[in-house]
Chain A
Amino acid sequence: MLIPLSWLKDYVDIRLPLKNLMWKMTEAGLTCETTKKAGDEIILDVEVTANRPDWMSILGVAREVAAIQGLKIKEPKIKNLPPQTANFPIDLETNFNLFERWTGIVIKGVEIKPSPKWLQNRIISMGHTPINNIIDITNYVMYELGIPMHAFDYDEIYGQIMTLKLSKGGEKFTSVDNLDYVLPENAIIINDAERLIDLAGIKGGLNSGIKPETKNIFLHVTIDNAILIRRASIKLGLRSDASAIYERGPDKGGTVESIKRAANLILEVAGGEIASKLIDLKKEKYEPQSLFLSFTKLEKILGIKIPETETVQILKRLNLSPKKTKTGINCIIPTYRGDVKIEEDLVEEVARLYGYNKFPMTMPQGVVSDRKIPYYFDDSQILNIKNFLISCGYSETKNLSLISKGLIGKLEMDTAKHFRIENPISLDYEYLRTSLIPSLVSAIKINPGEDLKLFEIDKVYLKTGKGACEKYKAAGVCLGGNFRNFKTAIELILSKLNIENYSIDFETNKPYLHQSHSGTIKLGEIIIGEFGELNPSVLAAMEITNKVYCFEMDIEILEKLSKFKLFASIPINPSQIEDLTLSFPPKTRIGDVINLIKSINRLISDIELKDVYKDNYTFRIEYQDPKRTLTNDEVENIRKEILASVKTRFGATVKV
């Protein structure tokens, strides 16, 4: 909302330096951080929160500025209207479900012409172009008092009848600024005897608008159903100064005064005479309400005791007519302060004018609960895993959760299994990811070079019949190095979490993984994750030329399977270490060989694959008895056991 300083000064003196005043306004909730200059005029730019329709007017802002400075407001003097000289009929059909108040008057014999200079300047300072004296006055009064109004060409209201009703949808409407719209369902419209003449609360119609030859006008204010107006204006993409006021809920008590204000100005600027009674249809009486603020509540919420006299002073400055009682203060809330509904609202009024920055600062007293809260979340294991990955050279990324259909397609995944956004910002961000891999693969594209290790740990969003299932996953991509380099990180995570006895299935159901160079990590039937090379067709689709390894593991399962490991005391006696080179027939699973050897004898304390040359595999085996030193004969016997087992199970032969 723009506030020209000279206009503001019509209603309130400005005693504080402008910079101080702007901060004081901001502190009080009327955010005012910037000004601009238009000629000699300084214009304040204020941000009006959704609860304050009154601040959508110069007078409303003036009231706040007066309260801040402790000054009196100079309300515009609104004279009574001159006597009616004619009786032009106008029939307003009521439906109190659609509106709450409808106030209007007919003026005859006006002369449509450009506005006088002072009026034009005010319209220009609000960032608009002056149109003619009548329209400029309706806008002027809206900016001044915060109540939108509209002027019709009286002679264009066929049958002198106006009916307020809901649109059916599909009606064609041409607005007063000559734009065509097709109306949505349930917009509030006004019809005359024959046609649609107004889109209530949003825009007037071209057919009934003020034209250069207009002689007689009907001036009105409708306070309509705010929700219906909001919905229609969103659907039409038609947001105006008026709709911004309407959806905040304008002052239902101020319609008569605003019509009088506008009518007086019209008589003064455009001539004419009053040609009807002042019509005022209203659902209820809209009168100031009383609201009580107890001292106990005030102190309980604020944490300090503001002296009672100061509290009364503040409420007085805000025009809330405070009357002190023994236990609190009775206030009368003016109709333009529809936002003050409950006691807490009055607490805020006192606090904000007292000044938030005058409050002392304390820390909460009370109980630190020892009960676990619902949705309790401990991310220490996630942080551990992040650090394991970092130690393996992976860098952490944070990618967007929304991805494109195109990317899902390139990864050969099924779009139907992804949640779609009804109103995406663009097609690049239309689906919620079900895997962290696609974004990581895309990241390869923006990092040139042969070596890259990236990971992410975050949520994926799975679509199930019941609804949404959000799961934390850890995923990585790895470029450069060979399979064993790549697998280090996966094994490190599993071993650091003390997950033992997991197995590798030589297949996966992940379409983006290589048909034969990828697999599933399992413990029993529990799937921990998948890993392997990206499918060459995915690489082709993504235009990536290097071989890419990737993995994705389920965090919740890793956490569940993770075990606490007890300390094993250091053996006193030395171990025996030897290298054993075995050769295997093709397609032997070396991982299984290692598992087998480990399980042969409890005296085998460690085994490591040291070297691979063609089909020869060198294992370093450590023998250790915690209680004593093993003799050469004992080691020899275990070795024989190993050789026999690998021969029977895998057809291995010893290489000498």
Chain B
Amino acid sequence: MQEELINLKNEAIAQISGAKDGAELEELRAAYLGRNGKFTLLVKKIKDVPIESRKTFGITLNESKVAIENLISDKKQEILKSLTEKREWFDLSMPGYKSNLGHLHPLTQALSEVKKIFNYLGYQVADGPEIESDYYNFEALNTPKDHPARDAQMTFYVDTTGTSLKEGEVVLRTQTSAMQGRVMEKMKPPFRVLAPGRNFRYEQVDASHGFEFWQVEGFVVDENIHLTDLFGTINYVLRQLFGEETKIRFATTNFPFVEPGVDAYLQCTICKGKGCSFCKGTGWSEIMPAGMIHPNVLKMAKIDPNKWNGFAFAIGLSRIVNLRYQINDLRTLTTPDMRILSQF
């Protein structure tokens, strides 16, 4: 028995010393010291040892177990140490697998950003029809029939055959400003409204013109709204969109539904004002037509212009996307080509 024990101990020492990793070590611990391990079995056999040598056997057995436990523990440390200090070449330049995620359209991304900015300023989003009446698209905006300002917005007329709509009175909206009359006649001020959407104008298609384009209309009506508030709002929004370094300047313009009328110019983000093909060499890009809401627009919506006033503006969403990504052809945004879409 004593001899068997010595052999077992030697065998264990040999195997444990030769173990290559933690898992093998665990296996060996189970094999020798586990519930059915070889040493554990020997403990059970102790009664078979003659009385006179039982004590010596017992001591040797315990010493062997302790020695093996220590050896396992040392070996474990040794393996861990060698793992920690191991320096072997590993190719970190191996590529991962290609993601198969799709891509979000830049117009969606830009619109989300614009909405976030205006939500912060207390604007609510409105969505209205694109098949619009001549009334909301023009007349409610102080642009009666035959007004020369209509020339700047050549209009698509909708064939009303087969419906109860009035012929010649239904258009594809040329401006999201059409939402002004719709909201104003249904709600008493104060309100702050953002109306994004698709617009249509009869224009021959080229790199800088499309007959469908995206705009975001905004308007505020309250008791004490000033031209300085309009300047401040435009300034805030353009800085949020294009960065604090953005240079902005304002000029007078005329739209029948604003007075005074404002045009906001952004220093060309591409040439930084030097003049390039994006800004037609002027160094500035017309970006946000705006103005104080004309009293006639308020009157038509039955809002008293002596008590209430406000401002309105429009942001060319397609233009913002083009300026940000330096896209020089408007048609890019409506071309469903993966070589374009996968860039966003």
Q: Which residues of A contact B (CB under 8 A)?
A: 26-29, 31, 33-34, 49-52, 226-227, 230-231, 247-248, 300-304, 342, 344-345, 347-348, 351-352, 356-357, 359-369, 371-379, 383, 386-387, 389-402, 416, 419-425, 429, 432, 439-440, 442-443, 446-447, 452-455, 458-459, 461, 463-468, 470
Contacts and interface: CB of A to CB of B under 8 A. Distances in A.
B211 interface: yes
A373 B123 CA distance: 10
B175 interface: no
A169 B226 CA distance: 51
Interface centre among A248, A356, A429, A453 (most CB of B within 10 A): A356
A345 B163 CA distance: 42
Interface centre among A31, A347, A368 (most CB of B within 10 A): A368
Interface string B106-128: 01100010010000011011111
3 A-B pairs with least C-beta separation: A303-B226, A29-B252, A368-B122
B226 A425 contact: no
B156 A419 contact: no
B131 A468 contact: yes
Contacts of B235: 361
B253 interface: yes
A90 B146 CA distance: 33
A421 B334 contact: no
B27 to A, nearest CB: 27
A359 B125 contact: no
Interface in B290-306: 292, 294-295
A369 B190 contact: yes
Given A421-B172, A454-B341, 4 more contacts: A362-B229, A373-B187, A429-B211, A467-B165
Contacts of B259: 342, 344-345, 347-348
Contacts of B152: 50
Nearest to B337: A446
A360 B226 CA distance: 11
B228 A50 contact: no
A356 B157 contact: no
A347 B261 CA distance: 11
A13 to B, nearest CB: 23
Contacts of A302: 226-228
Contacts of B253: 29, 31, 49
A29 B261 contact: yes
19 contacts: A27-B250, A27-B251, A28-B251, A49-B253, A356-B231, A359-B227, A364-B220, A366-B190, A369-B124, A373-B193, A376-B125, A383-B108, A387-B104, A390-B103, A396-B108, A422-B158, A425-B211, A452-B338, A459-B130
A433 B156 CA distance: 15
A443 B204 CA distance: 22
Contact of A357 (B121, B249, B294): B249
A371 B187 CA distance: 10
A366 B224 contact: yes
Contacts of B220: 364
A396 B103 contact: yes
B130 A401 contact: yes
Nearest to A431: B159
Given A374-B187, A383-B112, A398-B105, A366 B162 contact: no
Contacts of A398: 105, 107, 333-334, 336
B250 A347 contact: no
A373 to B, nearest CB: 5
A31 B108 contact: no
A397 B227 contact: no
A278 B57 CA distance: 147
Contacts of A301: 226-227, 260, 292, 309
B183 interface: yes
A394 B228 contact: no
Main secondary structure of the interface of B (DSSP, over half): mixed
B147 to A, nearest CB: 7
Contact of B127 (A248, A357, A377, A454): A377
B38 interface: no
B329 to A, nearest CB: 14
B159 A420 contact: yes
B182 A375 contact: yes
A377 B125 contact: yes
A50 B251 contact: no
Interface of B: 100-105, 107-108, 112, 115, 121-122, 124-131, 145-149, 151-152, 156-159, 161-165, 170, 172, 179, 182-183, 186-187, 190-193, 195, 198, 200, 202-205, 211-212, 220, 222-229, 231-233, 235-236, 249-254, 256, 259-262, 280-282, 292, 294-295, 309, 333-338, 341-342
A395 to B, nearest CB: 4
Contacts of A432: 131, 158, 172
A49 B259 CA distance: 13
A100 B134 CA distance: 29
Nearest to B184: A374
A396 B107 CA distance: 10
Given A29-B261, A395-B341, A446 B250 contact: no
A364 B233 contact: yes
Contacts of B225: 364, 366
A466 B341 contact: no
B334 to A, nearest CB: 6
A373 B165 CA distance: 26
Given A364-B233, A400-B334, A467-B164, A425 B202 contact: yes
Contacts of B294: 344
A379 B115 CA distance: 10
B254 A50 contact: yes
B336 A454 contact: yes
Given A360-B228, A468-B129, A50 B149 contact: yes
B227 A303 contact: yes
A245 to B, nearest CB: 10
A468 B165 contact: yes
Contacts of B101: 390-391, 393
Contacts of B130: 401, 459, 461, 470
B126 A375 contact: yes
Contact of A231 (B146, B186, B223, B282): B146
B163 A375 contact: no
A378 B125 contact: yes
Contacts of B229: 303, 362-365
A33 B250 CA distance: 14
B126 A373 contact: yes
B280 A33 contact: yes
A419 B200 CA distance: 15
A51 B145 CA distance: 15
A452 B164 CA distance: 42
Contact of A401 (B179, B212, B309, B337): B212
Nearest to B211: A425
Contact of B231 (A359, A379, A453): A359
B340 to A, nearest CB: 9
B224 A300 contact: yes
Contact of B151 (A50, A227, A379): A50
Nearest to B223: A366
A351 B260 contact: yes
A419 B163 CA distance: 10
A375 B129 CA distance: 10
Contacts of A379: 115, 125, 127
Contacts of B112: 383
Contact of A392 (B102, B202, B204): B102
Contact of B102 (A395, A399, A440, A446): A395
Contact of A375 (B128, B159, B161, B223): B128
Contacts of B260: 301, 344, 347-348, 351-352
B338 A447 contact: yes
A465 B148 contact: no
A31 B286 CA distance: 11
A386 B104 contact: yes
Contact of A439 (B104, B107, B108, B336): B336
Given A363-B232, A364-B222, A425 B204 contact: yes
Interface centre among A357, A374, A377, A399 (most CB of B within 10 A): A374
